[in-house]
C-alpha cells in the first residue's frame, strides 16, 4: 500500500486530497499545526476507509516544522510515495500595507518549505525509481498580484523545472493552479469574498479528482477547470500593464487558493 503526505491537510484542498486518497486506499501522513484537528481527521479517515493515518504536527513557517516534515519524507524505512505540498495562506492588504514579517513568513511557507520538502521527497523517490509530488500554486501565479502571486509563480516555475530535470527518473512533479475554492483560506486571512461571482468558485473534491488525473497523465501543470483554462488563455494575450490595473482594483487580498 502506498503512502501520501499532505501538508495543510485539515481544511480545504488539503482535506479534499486526504479524503480522495484515503478512499483510493492510500495510507496518509497528515501535516498541519493543530494536533486535535489532525487527530480527529486521522481517526475519521481510518474508521471510514480502513487506512493508516499518521499525524505530524508541524508549523511550516518555523525551522523546526520544516525539518520535521523533511525528515519524515526522507525516511527510507517508511517511504512516502506521494507528496502534496498544500500548506499556504494569504495576507490581507496590498504591497507596503502588509508587515515585512508577514511577507517573509509567506515566503518561508510558499517558497522555502516547498523547495526543501520537494527536495527531501524527490531524493528518496529517485532512489526507488518512483513517486510523485503535487505543489499547490494558484492561478494568481499568472497575474501581477504582489508577494502572493509572485510566490505562487515561483512554485510553478520551480516545479516545472524540477520535473524537466527529473524526467526519466520515475518521479513525477506537477504544479496545481486552482482558482477560487470555498475553503477556510479567505476567512483565516480576514478577506472578503462578496465581490467574487458565483461562477468563479470551484468544488474542492472535483478539483482534486481532476488534479490527480492530470498527474497520472504526466502533466507538469494542472489548471483543473475549463473556466479557468479559458481565463488563463485570455491572460496570456492581455498586456501586463492592463492586467496590473485590473488586479489592483480587486486587491491582492482576493487572490485565489
Domain ranges of the chain: 3-254
State the Cα–Cα distance between residues 257 and 218, nearest whole angstrom.
23
Check residue 246 and give its pLDDT. 38
Task: State the pLDDT confidence band at 169, using cuts at 50, 70 and 90.
Answer: very high
Check residue 215 and give its pLDDT. 98
Cell of 186: 479567505
pLDDT at 196 over 80: no
Looking at per-residue pLDDT, the higher value among 225 and 213 belongs to 213
Check residue 250 and give its pLDDT. 40
Instruction: Tell me the sheet residues that pair with 222.
Output: 176
DSSP 73-91: HT-SSS--SEEEE------
Contact in structure between 203 and 179 (CB atoms under 8 Å): no
Q: CATH: 1.20.1260.10, 3.20.80.10, 3.40.50.300, 3.40.50.720. Which one for 3-254?
A: 3.40.50.720
Average pLDDT, the chain: 87
- Catalytic residue numbers read 148
State the Cα–Cα distance between residues 224 and 208, nearest whole angstrom.
8
pLDDT at 193 over 80: no
pLDDT at 244 over 50: no
Contact in structure between 134 and 83 (CB atoms under 8 Å): yes
Check residue 227 and give its pLDDT. 73
Q: What is the pLDDT of residues 113-140, one digit of tens each?
A: 999 999 999 999 999 999 999 999 999 9
* Residues whose CB is less than 8 angstroms from the CB of residue 170 and which lie 6 or more positions away in sequence, other chains included: 125, 126, 128, 129, 130, 131
Check residue 64 and give its pLDDT. 98
State the Cα–Cα distance between residues 183 and 167, nearest whole angstrom.
34
CA distances in angstroms from 7 to 95, 124, 173, listed in the order given: 27, 18, 16
Q: What is the pLDDT of residues 86-110, one digit of tens each?
A: 999 999 888 999 999 999 999 999 9
Task: State the pLDDT confidence band at 47, using cuts at 50, 70 and 90.
Answer: very high
Check residue 253 and give its pLDDT. 36
State the Cα–Cα distance between residues 22 and 213, nearest whole angstrom.
16
Check residue 54 and give its pLDDT. 98
Is residue 104 helix, strand or coil?
A: helix
Amino acid at each position: 500500500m502506498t503512502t501520501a503526505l499532505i501538508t495543510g491537510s485539515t481544511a480545504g484542498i488539503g482535506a479534499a486530497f486526504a479524503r480522495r486518497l484515503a478512499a483510493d486506499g492510500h495510507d496518509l501522513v497528515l501535516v498541519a499545526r493543530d494536533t486535535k484537528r489532525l487527530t480527529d481527521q486521522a481517526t475519521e479517515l481510518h474508521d471510514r476507509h480502513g487506512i493508516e493515518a499518521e499525524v505530524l504536527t508541524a508549523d511550516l513557517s518555523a525551522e523546526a516544522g520544516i525539518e520535521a516534515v523533511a525528515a519524515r519524507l526522507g525516511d527510507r524505512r517508511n517511504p512516502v510515495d506521494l507528496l502534496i505540498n498544500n500548506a499556504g495562506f494569504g495576507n490581507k492588504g496590498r504591497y507596503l500595507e502588509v508587515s515585512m514579517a508577514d511577507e517573509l513568513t509567506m515566503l518561508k511557507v510558499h517558497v522555502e518549505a516547498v523547495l526543501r520538502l520537494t527536495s527531501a521527497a524527490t531524493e528518496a523517490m529517485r532512489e526507488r525509481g518512483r513517486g510523485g509530488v503535487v505543489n499547490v500554486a494558484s492561478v494568481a501565479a499568472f497575474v501581477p498580484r504582489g508577494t502572493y502571486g509572485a510566490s505562487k509563480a515561483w512554485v510553478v516555475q520551480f516545479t516545472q523545472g524540477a520535473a524537466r530535470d527529473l524526467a526519466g527518473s520515475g518521479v513525477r512533479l506537477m504544479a496545481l493552479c486552482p482558482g477560487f475554492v470555498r475553503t477556510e483560506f479567505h476567512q483565516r486571512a480576514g478577506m472578503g469574498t462578496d465581490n467574487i461571482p458565483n461562477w468563479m468558485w470551484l468544488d474542492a473534491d472535483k478539483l482534486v479528482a481532476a488534479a490527480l488525473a492530470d498527474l497520472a497523465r504526466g502533466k507538469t501543470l494542472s489548471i483543473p477547470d475549463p473556466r479557468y483554462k479559458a481565463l488563463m488563455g485570455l491572460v496570456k494575450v492581455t498586456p501586463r500593464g492592463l492586467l496590473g490595473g485590473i488586479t489592483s482594483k480587486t486587491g491582492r487580498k482576493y487572490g485565489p487558493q
